[in-house]
Amino acid sequence: MPKAQETVLEIDLKSLEHNYQYLRSKVAHTVKMMAVVKAFAYGSDSVAIASKLEKAGIDHFAVAYTKEGENLRAGGIEKPVLVLHPQSHSLKLLIDNCLTPSLYSKHILTEFIKTAEELNLKDYPVHININTGLNRLGFSPEEIDEVISILRKTSALQLVGIYSHLGASEDPAEKEFTLSQIATFKKASEKILEAFDHNILRHLCNTSGILNYPEAIFDMVRTGIGLYGYGNSVEEDEKLKPIGTLKTIISQIHHIKAGESVGYNRAFIAKKDTTTATLPLGHADGISRIYGKQKTAVLINGKEAPIIGNVCMDMIMVDVTDIDCNEGDQVIIFGKERSAEKFANKAGTISYELITAISQRVKRFIID
């Protein structure tokens, strides 16, 4: 990899393959794997990620919205793509792109049947989402009899999957809650399996579900964050490899006197003579203001340089008083050498939020 000359997000597909194989090793070989590539594959590059995983043998993909699935198809992705949260207006587009809808409410179920029947579809594959306690999307277990009878009345759809989503699978303190979600899912899904004679895939686990609740693996798992190199625990983080490294360079160095301020609103006032470096990325690139005011630091020549003052739209300033560095030197924000999880935690957030926020202005550089 040549030295970065601007802000870039390096995406290492070898690390992706490593993470995929690691997660695969956690489930029986008969269990299918669905890669969650929503939100530009967690802020990386959904087509590059999905193509690599398709070659590596992934069974299924998931995205949040129909447009994201359309984008995968335009990029040549052929494996089934589950749309987790389709909206009524996008159902035609969803079908045109051979995407699989997750039906989560009576409204969207009815709308989808209407669209499918108008198009004279037969046995179009759908998944049903059951709400087992997250209270975000999904049919309540009490609605299942009605869902079964609605599905039986149409030949336009075929139910090929049932799933639910765990709300706290990474949190040992919420074990009881997670076990109750698993039990509710088991009961509700068994009722559905009994109602149909064809094969229906059951899936419940996200990344932390796979790692912490092997008893909840069923027929397929949905993994997102693990593929990108984070496992929601110190032990798992050690086994996974972050695929994305956000790098930049030093644009300018300033030597300021004690009492001078740095940046907007004078949020940093130098207590002593200070050397600062200005970096070409800011909140418009995804480094939010929550990381400013010395909450977090970047890495320059192996040393931590705290972000001082307020993060600007296009720039941040860091304290390099004790670091031997020059204009043009490399800066690591997060990635291989420096966990996005730790960077995020220092400002009170999580890797998911940090990595998915990296905006489209940042150039992606794929390494295979």
Ligand X SMILES: *Cc1c(COP(=O)(O)O)cnc(C)c1O
* Helix, strand, coil percent values for the chain (each to nearest 5): 35, 25, 40
Distance of CA 304 to the CA centre of its chain: 27
Residue type, 204: L
Residue 2 dihedral angles phi and psi, to the nearest 5°:
-65, 160
Active site residue 264: yes
**Least Å from the CB of residue 255 to ligand X:** 44
What tokens does 270 get? Answer: 């130098």
> By C-beta, is 9 or 84 nearer to ligand X?
84
Q: What is the CA radius of gyration of the chain?
A: 23
Q: Which residues bind ligand X (CB under 6 A)?
A: 36, 84, 165, 206-208, 222-226
What tokens does 210 get? Answer: 């796979």
Residue 313 marked in a binding site: yes
Strands 297-300 and 330-334: antiparallel
Residue 364 marked in a binding site: no
Residue 249 dihedral angles phi and psi, to the nearest 5°:
-135, 165
CB 252 within 8 A of CB 278: yes
Strand blocks (E) in 225-314: 244-249, 252-256, 261-262, 268-269, 274-279, 297-300, 303-308
Q: Which of 65, 186, 264, 346 is catalytic?
A: 264
- Residue number with the smallest Cβ distance to ligand X: 224
Q: Which of 20, 22, 26, 38 is catalytic?
A: 38
Strand blocks (E) in 173-300: 201-203, 220-223, 244-249, 252-256, 261-262, 268-269, 274-279, 297-300
**Least Å from the CB of residue 169 to ligand X:** 8
Catalytic residues: 38, 264
Q: Which residues are annotated as a binding site for substrate?
A: 136, 313
